[in-house]
Structure 1
């Protein structure tokens, strides 16, 4: 079974977007950015995939932090997942996000609510 982290906090500090979770009980030392994203229409979220030696870890980026994500995308800021004392740069997040945004815009397969939220916040 894969672990899912819900990222609920997004702040821009020192020209970086820092993502955190309010409640996190995962060991981050062995996590690596995979450079791939998915869309979760049911939860109105994007999912960034991380790898550990044993499983994939899904980092959920809910619509509540998309305005900060958009700002980081527009300013070409690195996006950092902060877990306790560890920082993991989410590599290729902007190209992956751009790909998803273009696919979701005008595409009913993602559901009306997801499509509307993406268009409202990113276009």
Structure 2
């Protein structure tokens, strides 16, 4: 499992694009596929999107600083692409559905921890 950190989300050409800290080499980027599912990191106050290739999972970490833009993606049912390097972007399929499910599930659910629940309510409600 490799962790990829999103530093910001920008709007380019009428599309939301997540920009990572650093880049992935082209050879690896060509093998990655959107996993279509998300997890929650309650301790790190982050949403995690799963990428995968034939041998491993890659966790795309959306820290709390990116949540206002994630809220926009969610409210507009927009697509979100992840820029892996200068040549390759990958669409994060099902991110709106996954994010909607998670934010709805976190609200009023102490299993995610009080801090995560409060942070999600502040941004997504």
Distance 2:14 2:74 in 1: 12
Aligned to 2:108, which of 106, 111, 119? 106
Partner in structure 2 of residue 11 of structure 1: 10
Partner in structure 2 of residue 29 of structure 1: 30
Structure 1: any 5+ residue segments left out of the alignment? none
Distance 2:83 2:100 in 1: 23
Distance 2:23 2:2 in 1: 11
Q: Compute the displacement of 1:45 (Å).
A: 0.4
Partner in structure 2 of residue 90 of structure 1: 92
Question: Is the Cα–Cα contact under 8 Å of residues 78 and 96 in structure 2 kept in the other structure?
Answer: no
Q: Secondary structure at the match of 1:9?
A: strand
Greater displacement, 81-90 / 14-23: 14-23
Question: Is the Cα–Cα contact under 8 Å of residues 50 and 57 in structure 2 kept in the other structure?
Answer: yes
Structure 2: any 5+ residue segments left out of the alignment? none
TM-score (norm 1): 0.94
Partner in structure 1 of residue 58 of structure 2: 57
Report the CA distance shift for 1:75/1:121 in structure 2 as closer, same or farther (over 3 A): same
Number of residue pairs matched by the alignment = 122
Question: Is the Cα–Cα contact under 8 Å of residues 10 and 17 in structure 2 kept in the other structure?
Answer: yes
Measured on the aligned residues, the alpha-carbon RMSD in Å equals 1.1
Kindly report structure 1 stretches of 4+ aligned residues shifted beyond 4 Å.
none
Question: Is the Cα–Cα contact under 8 Å of residues 46 and 64 in structure 2 kept in the other structure?
Answer: yes
